[in-house]
């Protein structure tokens, strides 16, 4: 029934809302296109059972949703010059908002996760108790709209002097959810976030217009911005990221227009929304003063006036200042910076290259500082300190959340840069590849909402998918800086080379721009070559990876271990458990840990493993020099095996 309701609401939203953007002959053509897409989708769905193709209803619905959004996007972009296209940013936001609201029941098939339920618990406490003390909320979870009866206080939640239990999350978002919660419980709260996301889309589209971006480019960016990652994931989840993007965009717009009060409000609210955004707020003020010198003194006055109530709020609710201190290992080292920066760019699970490729293309524009508009420059200045603090942290990738969590706030900046890149730098083929990939990401996110939450093992969804399908270790070919591999280094080098080549071009002329056919052919060759390489036995096998066929045993540490990425992962074997995998063979090193003596068999060799306590130690194994499938079997004990490396 939920699927059917979601289908009905979504179909209505995507069929009717766009009519506000078109008129005359375009309206007729849109209606025909819409009917054609619906009919085609129905025909294909009806055919599946006859062909013995089993497709889950929610997957089928996700594909239908994306098909309609793609058709709408192509229709708008293809008619950008038409006089019958009554485009306006608020109309685009109307369409986006209608889609987000339509998605609410669909997304809520999966339980709220990560930080989401805790924001809602605070909302419930505000509504029912008039306070933010969560003690009685935790003891009556069966009454909570979160539908989560397994919630316990999060690590770092402050405790009051009288035993009060507070959430470590700032209460502003929870306050904002009150009206929606009162109107519709969990659905109402999520719909509130959807509303903020739609407003963010409106604000960003206005920002693009005010920066002089052409309508054609805006219509190319709009669907990828509104319906692609990462905004779509956060538009229907209770996180502060979508409201933060709205505030950041409004701050940029207000600064550009010289509207100090409005800018000040946006900046202060941003800091109150989430304390980690405070540094963005400060940087916005600093950047504003640098770029708009004539308003420096007045800006300082306004900022001081607005800071007073903000300070008052902080004084009244000191628990929001329960900052988690940096762990000793999160230090500002070159290695950490390289790992975090490279990861944010190319990591298969958490990087822009795989999770939001269009924004990565836009970053090329950031290197052409002089060509950027004032808003883009201000955005870059505002983002820089935040990113400098983010990259060396061990959870730069966002932790237990949909991808790119910590940079969603900078979507307005990404939109500006991407628009600039599309107009002046990037080839059409690259944009098309990014768009197709984004469509795939959207299908995946809608069809498998829990799949957006991944344990940071170093594998990626793509690597696991191909590995499971083919039995080959495809994950090693997907760049990872969470578990650094050669593919990441290669990706960084290639990216740097492409950026250098892009900067070296004087202008984007037909002679320089690679054709779509060329990009497609190169992509086909890369895929074929990569798949061939992946099918060859590798010289390193991580025992927890998807291509390893396990028979018994379990993941180590457990999947739901808090901050699991801080631990060295592996596979815990019990007596009789085994795992088989493709491996190069020859002289090898096995990394393991064991509390007690253990014995394993691999490749016809029996190996005795000495106790190592909690740490991992290597043991040399002389395997046959025959690449192929090897089986590791535990004969005695309970060792945890991390990986095996061929020399």
Partner 1 sequence: MTPPSETHLRARLAATLVAGVAAVMALSMGLRNEGGVDAGLPLYAAAIAAIAYLEGRRFGDATLAFAIPLLLVWRMGVVDEQLRFFLYGITLAVTAGTFVVRSIGDGGRLQLGEALVLLASCVAAMRLVPWSAELAPAQAVVILGTLILALSLAGREGIGAGALVACLAVGIVTPLEPLKATLFPLLLASVLAVLRGPSPFSVAAVVGTAVLAGRWAWPMAALTLASGLLSELVEPLIDRRRRPAHAALAAAPFGALPLASGALAAFAWAPESALRLPLLARPARITAVSLAAAAIMLRPALGALYMIAALAIVLADDFLAVGRQGSGAGEKPAVPTVAIVVSIAMLSLVGYSGAVASRFPLPLPIVQVVAVAVVALAAVPARRFPAIAAAASSIALVVAVALVAGGGPRLEPVDTSAVLAAGEAHEVDVPAGNELRVGLSGGNLTALEPGTPVGTLEAIDRSGRVVRRELVVGDLADWGLGRPGHYFAARNDWPSSTGAKVAEYGHQAFFGGSGTVEISMPGVSRLRLTAARSLPDRGRLHLESVSVVRR
The binding site for partner 1 (CB under 8 A) comprises 3-4, 7-8, 11-12, 15-16, 19, 27-28, 30-32, 34-36, 38-55, 57, 78, 428-429, 432-433, 436, 465-466, 468-470, 510-511, 515-521, 523-525, 527-528, 531-532, 535
Closest by Cα among 227, 294, 303 to 258: 294
Count the helix, strand and coil residues of the chain and give each as a percent rounded to the nearest 5.
Answer: 60, 10, 30
410: which strand partners?
none
Longest dimension (CA), the chain: 80
Compute how many other C-beta atoms are within 10 angstroms of the C-beta atom of residue 463: 26
Q: Are 383 and 286 in contact (CB under 8 A)?
A: no
Query: Rounded to the nearest whole angstrom, what is the least distance from the CB of residue 419 to partner 1 in the complex?
Result: 20
Closest by Cα among 554, 543, 568, 546 to 482: 568
Strand ranges inside 526-639, DSSP E: 540-542, 549-551, 554-556, 570-572, 578-583, 587-593, 598-602, 605-609, 617-622, 628-636
Query: Rounded to the nearest whole angstrom, what is the least distance from the CB of residue 536 to partner 1 in the complex?
Result: 11
Strand ranges inside 118-265, DSSP E: none
Cis peptide before 230, with omega less than 30 degrees from 0? yes
Quick one: CA dihedral 91, 93, 97, 100, positive or negative?
positive
Query: Rounded to the nearest whole angstrom, what is the least distance from the CB of residue 51 to partner 1 in the complex?
Result: 5
Query: Rounded to the nearest whole angstrom, what is the least distance from the CB of residue 200 to partner 1 in the complex?
Result: 27
Query: Rounded to the nearest whole angstrom, what is the least distance from the CB of residue 518 to partner 1 in the complex?
Result: 5
Query: Rounded to the nearest whole angstrom, what is the least distance from the CB of residue 6 to partner 1 in the complex?
Result: 10
User: Could you give the C-alpha distances from 439 to 7, 59, 358, 436, 621, in angstroms and in order?
Assistant: 18, 14, 12, 5, 46
Q: What is the CA radius of gyration of the chain?
A: 26
Give 323 or 432: the residue with its C-beta nearer to partner 1: 432
Query: Rounded to the nearest whole angstrom, what is the least distance from the CB of residue 77 to partner 1 in the complex?
Result: 12
Give 39 or 159: the residue with its C-beta nearer to partner 1: 39
Query: Rounded to the nearest whole angstrom, what is the least distance from the CB of residue 12 to partner 1 in the complex?
Result: 5
Give 50 or 324: the residue with its C-beta nearer to partner 1: 50
Give 57 or 156: the residue with its C-beta nearer to partner 1: 57
Query: Rounded to the nearest whole angstrom, what is the least distance from the CB of residue 41 to partner 1 in the complex?
Result: 8
Q: Are 403 and 355 in contact (CB under 8 A)?
A: yes
Give the span between the Cα atoms of 286 and 127, in whole angstroms.
38
Q: Strand, coil or helix: what is 263?
A: helix
Give 30 or 119: the residue with its C-beta nearer to partner 1: 30
Give the span between the Cα atoms of 263 and 248, in whole angstroms.
9
Distance of CA 44 to the CA centre of its chain: 31
Compute how many other C-beta atoms are within 10 angstroms of the C-beta atom of residue 522: 12
Enclosing H/E stretch for 480: none
Give 298 or 536: the residue with its C-beta nearer to partner 1: 536
Give 337 or 462: the residue with its C-beta nearer to partner 1: 462
């Amino acid at each position: 029934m939920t699927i059917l309701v979601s289908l009905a609401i979504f179909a209505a939203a995507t069929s009717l809302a766009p009519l506000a953007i078109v008129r005359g002959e375009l309206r007729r053509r849109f209606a025909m296109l819409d009917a054609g897409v619906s009919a085609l989708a129905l025909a294909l769905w009806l055919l599946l059972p006859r062909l013995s193709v089993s497709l889950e209803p929610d997957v089928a619905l996700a594909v239908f949703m994306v098909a309609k959004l793609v058709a709408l996007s192509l229709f708008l972009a293809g008619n950008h010059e038409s006089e019958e296209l009554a485009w306006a940013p608020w109309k685009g936001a109307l369409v986006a908002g209608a889609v987000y609201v339509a998605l609410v029941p669909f997304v809520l098939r999966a339980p709220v996760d990560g930080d989401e339920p805790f924001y809602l618990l605070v909302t419930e406490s505000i509504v029912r108790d008039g306070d933010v003390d969560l003690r009685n909320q935790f003891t009556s979870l069966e009454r909570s709209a979160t539908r989560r009866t397994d919630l316990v206080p999060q690590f770092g939640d402050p405790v009051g002097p009288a035993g009060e239990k507070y959430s470590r999350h700032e209460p502003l978002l929870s306050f904002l959810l009150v009206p929606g919660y009162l109107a519709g419980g969990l659905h109402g709260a999520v719909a509130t976030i959807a509303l903020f996301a739609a407003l963010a889309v409106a604000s960003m589209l206005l920002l693009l217009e005010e920066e002089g971006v052409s309508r054609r480019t805006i219509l190319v960016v709009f669907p990828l911005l509104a319906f692609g990652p990462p905004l779509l994931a956060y538009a229907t989840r209770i996180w502060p990221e979508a409201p933060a993007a709205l505030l950041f965009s409004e701050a940029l717009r207000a600064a550009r227009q010289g509207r100090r009060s409005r800018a000040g409000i946006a900046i202060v609210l941003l800091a109150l929304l989430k304390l980690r955004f405070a540094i963005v707020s400060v940087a916005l003020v600093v950047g504003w003063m640098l770029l708009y010198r004539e308003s420096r003194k007045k800006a300082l006055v306004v900022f001081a006036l607005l800071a007073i109530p903000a300070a008052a709020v902080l004084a009244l609710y000191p628990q929001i200042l329960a900052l988690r201190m940096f762990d000793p290992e999160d230090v500002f080292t070159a290695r950490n910076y390289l790992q975090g920066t490279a990861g944010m760019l190319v990591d298969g699970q958490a990087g822009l290259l795989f999770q939001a490729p269009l924004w990565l293309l836009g970053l090329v524009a950031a290197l052409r500082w002089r060509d950027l508009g004032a808003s883009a420059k201000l955005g870059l200045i505002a983002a820089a300190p935040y990113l400098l603090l983010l990259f060396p942290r061990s959870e730069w990738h966002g932790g237990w959340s949909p991808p790119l969590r910590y940079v969603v706030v900078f979507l307005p900046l990404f939109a500006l840069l991407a628009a600039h890149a599309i107009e002046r730098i990037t080839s059409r083929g690259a944009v098309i590849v990014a768009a197709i990939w984004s469509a795939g990401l959207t299908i995946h996110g809608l069809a498998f909402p829990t799949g957006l939450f991944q344990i940071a093992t170093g594998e990626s969804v793509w690597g696991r998918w191909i590995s499971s399908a083919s039995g080959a270790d495809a994950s090693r070919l997907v760049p990872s800086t969470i578990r650094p591999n050669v593919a990441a280094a290669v990706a960084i080098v290639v990216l740097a080379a492409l950026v250098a080549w892009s900067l070296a071009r004087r202008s984007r002329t037909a002679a320089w721009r690679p054709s779509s056919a060329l990009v497609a052919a190169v992509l086909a060759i890369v895929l074929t070559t990569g798949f061939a390489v992946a099918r060859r036995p590798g010289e390193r096998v991580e025992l927890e990876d998807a291509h390893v066929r396990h028979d018994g045993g379990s993941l180590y540490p457990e999947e739901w271990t808090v901050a699991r990425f801080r631990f060295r992962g592996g596979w815990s074997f019990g007596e009789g458990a085994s795992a088989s995998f493709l491996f190069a063979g020859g002289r090898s090193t096995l990394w393991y840990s064991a509390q007690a003596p253990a014995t394993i068999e691999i490749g016809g060799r029996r190996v005795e493993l000495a106790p190592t306590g909690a740490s991992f130690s290597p043991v040399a194994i002389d395997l046959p020099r025959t690449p192929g499938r090897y089986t590791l079997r535990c004969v005695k004990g309970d060792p945890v095996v991390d990986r095996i490396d061929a020399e």
